[in-house]
């Protein structure tokens, strides 16, 4: 091997070594597949994403390799993807389908959670049943899971959008709008939902009534699904799964560590997770692989529903919708 390090003819020994070293560095920098490039991920405050932040706060997630960018709303996360400011985002499946319909190439590489009660419609005490929503002001987030939930709420109530007054609100404005009495009902999610329930709101509908519909995924832009970003993506997934395992093994300590960021009393943190199914590595692989993968079947059903309700302009192609190859094959939780 030393024959490759012999001085170049006509050059002094120190200079030849310097030239070779510079050339080697340039060669490595030109090979993108050898580089370990960082990734940036946008997300809102949501209990299903909180293990990812727990991993960052506890040092299990290397912030030099993964930048977590907190957004005020899912709408802002989608805009950051459109503008190329982030490489990926934590999104609901329907949000991901909407982004793909707008030409943003995204693939789901991991499932954060499946909502089973954590997304809900909360109402003022005077509203006793869904039919009482007629003529009422309903707050919801446009272009996000709020639209999907609202459509299901109205369908269950036997109402149309013309029967109610719609009040578009991003998630960061839900609590303020409620406290200012600007809405009679609001489609929201944890941790805001628990905050409103503590203020006297009543839950009238939740995601248990639309099972396997609201699923949060880690969606990555196709131009970041390459060798140069692969290590960072795998690192993020492994760190999230490590934090998820910690939450399972040490729930009360994990709740203490997550309470401040969620804006909840420590005792209220764990109950917010009761409305979620949190797939570990084994269940992520079960949902993202197979012929066809379960997530693909769910996405097809959600896409058909969204097209029918004019929430999507057309069915998704489902090409590269799922990339399970970033899941850690040897990370099986006990």
Taking the C-alpha atoms of residue 243 and residue 232, their distance in angstroms, rounded to an integer, is: 17
Q: What is the DSSP string of 191-208?
A: THHHHHHHTT-EEEEEGG
| Alpha-helical regions (H) of the chain | 13-30, 50-57, 74-82, 93-101, 145-157, 174-179, 192-198, 227-249, 251-262, 266-273, 281-288, 294-308
Q: 119-209 falls under which CATH superfamily?
A: Periplasmic binding protein-like II (3.40.190.10)
Decide if 87 contacts 40 (C-beta within 8 A).
yes
pTM of the model: 0.82
Decide if 23 contacts 69 (C-beta within 8 A).
no
Q: Which pLDDT value is given to residue 254? A: 97
- Using only the alpha carbons of the chain, give its radius of gyration: 23
**Max Cα distance, the chain (Å):** 92
Could you give phi then psi for residue 259, rounded to 5 degrees? -60, -45
Per the rule left: phi > 0, alpha: psi between -120 and 50, beta: everything else, 313 is alpha
Could you give phi then psi for residue 77, rounded to 5 degrees? -60, -45
Q: How many CA atoms lie within 13 A of 273 on its CB side?
A: 21
Burial classification of residue 209, based on how many CB atoms lie within 10 Å of its CB (0-12 exposed, 13-18 middle, 19 or more buried): middle
Q: What is the pLDDT along the chain (334 residues), one digit of tens a residue?
A: 333 333 333 434 454 555 455 554 444 444 444 568 999 999 999 999 999 999 999 999 999 999 999 999 888 999 999 999 999 999 999 999 999 999 999 999 999 999 999 999 999 999 999 999 999 999 998 866 888 899 999 999 999 999 999 999 998 999 999 999 999 999 999 889 999 999 999 999 999 999 888 999 999 999 999 999 999 999 999 999 999 999 999 999 999 999 999 999 999 999 999 889 999 999 999 999 988 999 999 999 999 989 988 889 999 999 999 999 999 876 443 3
Taking the C-alpha atoms of residue 272 and residue 276, their distance in angstroms, rounded to an integer, is: 8
Q: Give the fold, CATH level 3, of 38-114+213-326.
A: D-Maltodextrin-Binding Protein; domain 2 (3.40.190)
Taking the C-alpha atoms of residue 174 and residue 290, their distance in angstroms, rounded to an integer, is: 39
Place of tokens 């197979």: 290
Q: For the chain, what are the domain ranges?
A: 38-114+213-326, 119-209
| Alpha-helical regions (H) of 8-119 | 13-30, 50-57, 74-82, 93-101
Q: Do domains 38-114+213-326 and 119-209 have the same CATH topology?
A: yes
Q: Which pLDDT value is given to residue 145? A: 83
């Amino acid at each position: 091997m030393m024959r490759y390090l012999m001085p170049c003819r006509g050059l002094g020994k120190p200079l030849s070594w310097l030239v070779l070293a510079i050339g080697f560095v340039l060669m490595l920098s030109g090979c993108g597949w050898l580089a370990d490039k960082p990734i940036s991920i946008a997300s809102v405050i949501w209990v299903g994403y909180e293990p990812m932040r727990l991993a960052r706060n506890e040092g299990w997630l290397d912030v030099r390799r993964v930048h977590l960018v907190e957004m005020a709303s899912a709408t802002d996360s989608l805009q950051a993807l459109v503008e190329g400011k982030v490489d990926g985002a934590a999104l609901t499946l329907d949000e991901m389908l909407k982004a793909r319909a707008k030409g943003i190439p995204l693939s789901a590489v991991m499932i954060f959670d499946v909502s089973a009660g954590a997304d809900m419609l909360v109402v003022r005490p005077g509203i006793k049943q869904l039919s009482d929503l007629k003529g009422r002001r309903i707050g919801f987030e446009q272009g996000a899971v709020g639209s999907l939930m609202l459509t299901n709420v109205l369908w269950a109530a036997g109402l149309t959008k013309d029967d109610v007054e719609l009040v578009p609100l991003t998630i960061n404005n839900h609590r303020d709008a409620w406290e200012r009495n600007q809405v009679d009902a609001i489609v929201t999610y944890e941790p805001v939902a628990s905050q409103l329930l503590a203020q006297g709101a009543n839950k009238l509908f939740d995601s248990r009534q639309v099972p396997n519909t609201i699923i949060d995924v880690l969606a990555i832009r196709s131009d970041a699904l390459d060798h140069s970003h692969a290590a960072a993506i795998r690192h993020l997934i492994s760190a999230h799964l490590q934090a998820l395992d910690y939450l399972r093994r040490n729930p009360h300590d994990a709740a203490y560590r997550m309470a401040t960021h969620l804006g909840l009393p420590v005792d209220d943190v764990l109950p917010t997770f009761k409305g979620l199914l949190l797939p570990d590595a084994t269940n992520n692989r079960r949902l993202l692989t197979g012929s066809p993968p379960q997530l693909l079947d769910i996405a097809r059903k959600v896409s058909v529903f969204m097209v029918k309700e004019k929430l999507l302009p057309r069915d998704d192609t489902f090409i590269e919708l799922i990339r399970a190859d970033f899941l850690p094959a040897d990370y099986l939780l006990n």
